[in-house]
């Protein structure tokens, strides 16, 4: 039995097979419409979510399975003090696979150690968000035709952004990857990512504060919101929340085939005027999230469709 805690849980070869399966699901959805009949997915979300929770549920329903779960900690026995370990033992009696989001780093890992069913980390604090990373990889590969030889700009909250941390860890395994890290001083990438991931693997990267300075060189721009829920100080959040706003004028500085991605939700960091630009791929990215989660469910349940 396998779990997914980090994008590094899959080798590059396994990732490529997973993305191939997701592309096949996109092309031939009817072929997979009954693959999970009789199977149940539990969505255990201790933190709010729209895309991740609903895309997991859509993925299982598209596969012919069913869904149960909770959408917040106060609608579960966590409100009464039940531990994650006990919750997953109970969920293992009711479901075949579980997607868990939790504000505490490592909580899904603890669950996986006590679980009798596969557990998928659907986001744990500021740590990892592996299924968003799988979504990002599928989007980039599908729209750019490759995952290597790319200059990736990561903009916004690089300190607390678990999507950014996961994506960096996954992309460094492909050749010719270069990062441009765009953030204010207060939201720079954590030192453990800078030293233990980027520098330790000889991955070229630059750190800049102005988005305009980075735009001309980028193949992919990955925007993130400044996350109010990660701040201890309201004043710091208010000061930084509108630090970056992607506008049409800034898009004019970019390559004609640059992709704009965003894990969503957005607040102010991408102007709605950018939505009609053919390079804006964040809503297509959300659709790819369903295909990749369908592929992941099939892979972890070891279900093959001929």
Which residues does the annotation mark as catalytic? Answer: 51-52, 80, 101, 129
Residues in Cβ contact with 221 at an 8 Å cutoff, skipping those fewer than 6 apart: 153, 155, 214, 215, 246, 254, 258, 259, 260, 261
Q: What is the dihedral of CA 194, 6, 12, 199, to 10 degrees?
A: 10
Nearest to 26 by CA among 135, 133, 114, 151: 135
* Tokens, residue 285: 């990215």
* Tokens, residue 274: 């950018």
What is the phi/psi pair of residue 102, to 5°?
A: -150, 145
d(CA 211, CA 227): 19
d(CA 169, CA 224): 17
Sheet of strand 177-182, all strands in order from the earlier edge strand to the far edge: 205-208, 177-182, 150-155, 220-223, 259-261
d(CA 26, CA 32): 10
């Amino acid at each position: 039995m396998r779990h997914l805690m980090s994008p590094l849980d899959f080798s590059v070869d396994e990732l490529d097979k997973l993305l191939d399966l997701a592309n096949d699901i996109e092309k031939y959805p009817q072929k997979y419409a009954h693959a999970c009949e009789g199977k149940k997915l539990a969505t255990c979300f201790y933190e709010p979510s729209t895309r991740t929770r609903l895309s997991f549920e859509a993925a299982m329903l598209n596969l012919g399975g069913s869904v149960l779960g909770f959408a917040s900690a106060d609608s579960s026995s966590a409100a009464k003090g039940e531990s994650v370990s006990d919750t997953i033992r109970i969920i293992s009696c009711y479901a075949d696979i579980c997607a868990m989001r939790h504000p505490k780093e490592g909580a899904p890992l603890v669950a996986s150690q006590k679980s009798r069913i596969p557990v998928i980390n659907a986001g744990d604090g500021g740590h990892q968000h592996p299924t968003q990373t799988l979504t990002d990889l599928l989007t980039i590969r599908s729209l750019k035709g490759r995952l290597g030889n790319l200059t990736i700009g990561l903009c916004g909250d690089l300190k607390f952004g678990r999507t950014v941390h996961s994506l960096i860890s996954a992309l460094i395994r492909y050749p010719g990857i270069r990062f441009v890290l765009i953030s204010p001083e207060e939201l720079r990438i954590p030192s453990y990512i800078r030293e233990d991931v980027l520098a330790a693997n000889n991955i070229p990267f630059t750190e800049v504060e102005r988005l305009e300075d980075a735009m001309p060189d980028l193949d992919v721009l990955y925007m993130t919101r400044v996350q109010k829920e990660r701040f201890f100080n309201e004043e710091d959040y208010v000061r930084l929340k509108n630090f970056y706003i992607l506008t049409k004028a800034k898009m004019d500085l970019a390559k004609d085939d640059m992709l704009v991605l965003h894990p969503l939700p957005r607040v102010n960091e991408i102007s709605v005027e950018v939505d009609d630009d053919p390079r804006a791929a964040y809503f297509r990215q959300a659709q790819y999230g369903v295909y990749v989660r369908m592929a992941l469910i099939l892979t972890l349940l070891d279900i093959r469709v001929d």
